[in-house]
């Protein structure tokens, strides 16, 4: 088992689309547009103190999808690829906490399909929270020894360029959520236990 810290930096804004209707009820006689204008910031993921974060699963799913996208074969294993090893052998336990509060986030209004499906006939105006610049460290626990630090870095590079995170990311025909990997560092067991 290895603990690897990846220091990442945005190359495009990140946008959020968390489902929140169950958390914020409508007010009496409030129409759809008024509700949207009042509540859109709830699409971000935020801690109780209002600090915005990117969920751990955003990075886990991004990395898994990069492994599928890349389809890199394991040397000496015939046609076998790394995909299943990333899916079951890598964990991201902690979110990436950003240095911004929920009430500071800016919004971008988009005319989107009402049912959320590309090409939908009915469109509605929605506001999506957008953070233009973001960075931080993501901690990966690598349980599968076949995934070396170099292989993880290669897949993270692809993840940041071609998959992305958040809503309107490249994987979903968007332009947001791209990042570069500045460094990857293996953390020794004593440091990992202390943190």
Give first-to-last CA distance, the chain, whole Å.
16
The CATH classification of domain 2-194, taken from the options 2.40.10, 1.10.10, 3.30.70, 3.10.450: 3.30.70
- Please determine, for residue 81, whether its predicted confidence score (pLDDT) is greater than 50: yes
Q: Concatenated DSSP letters for 61-111? A: HHHHHHHHHH-PBPTTSTT-BSHHHHHHHEEE-S-EEEEEEGGG-EEEEEE
The lowest-confidence range among 2-11, 65-74, 88-97, 180-189 is: 180-189
Residues 24, 125, 114, 28: what is their CA dihedral angle, to the nearest 10 degrees? 40
Q: Which two tokens stand for residue 165?
A: 């995170």
Q: What is the pLDDT of residue 121?
A: 76
Query: What is the mean pLDDT of the segment spanning 155-174?
Result: 96
Integer Cα distance of 97 and 138 in angstroms: 9
- What are the DSSP E strand ranges found in the chain? 2-10, 14-15, 51-54, 90-92, 96-101, 106-113, 123-131, 135-142, 179-187
The model's pTM: 0.89
pLDDT tens profile 126-149: 999 999 999 999 999 999 999 999
pLDDT tens profile 82-126: 999 999 999 999 999 999 999 999 999 998 887 777 777 788 899
Integer Cα distance of 155 and 61 in angstroms: 12
- Please determine, for residue 191, whether its predicted confidence score (pLDDT) is greater than 60: no
pLDDT tens profile 6-46: 999 999 999 999 999 889 999 999 999 999 999 999 999 99
Q: What is the pLDDT of residue 184?
A: 97
Please give the backbone phi and psi of residue 32, each rounded to the nearest 5 degrees, phi first.
Answer: -60, -45
């Amino acid at each position: 088992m290895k603990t690897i810290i990846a220091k990442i930096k945005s190359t495009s804004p990140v946008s959020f689309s968390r489902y929140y209707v169950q958390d914020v009820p409508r007010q009496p006689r409030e129409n759809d547009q008024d509700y949207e204008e009042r509540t859109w910031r709830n699409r971000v993921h935020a801690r109780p103190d209002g600090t915005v974060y990117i969920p751990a699963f955003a990075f886990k799913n991004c990395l898994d999808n990069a492994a599928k996208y890349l389809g890199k074969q394991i040397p000496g294993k015939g046609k076998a690829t790394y995909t299943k090893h990333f899916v079951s052998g890598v964990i991201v336990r902690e979110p990436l906490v950003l240095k911004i509060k929920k009430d500071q986030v800016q919004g971008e209004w988009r005319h989107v399909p009402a049912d959320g499906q590309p090409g939908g006939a009915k469109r509605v105006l929605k506001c999506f929270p957008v953070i233009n610049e973001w960075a931080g460290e993501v901690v990966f626990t690598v349980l599968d020894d076949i995934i070396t630090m170099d292989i993880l870095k290669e897949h993270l590079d692809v993840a940041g360029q071609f998959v992305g995170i958040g809503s309107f990311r490249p994987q979903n025909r968007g332009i947001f959520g791209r990042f570069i990997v500045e460094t990857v560092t293996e953390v020794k067991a004593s440091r990992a236990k202390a943190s």
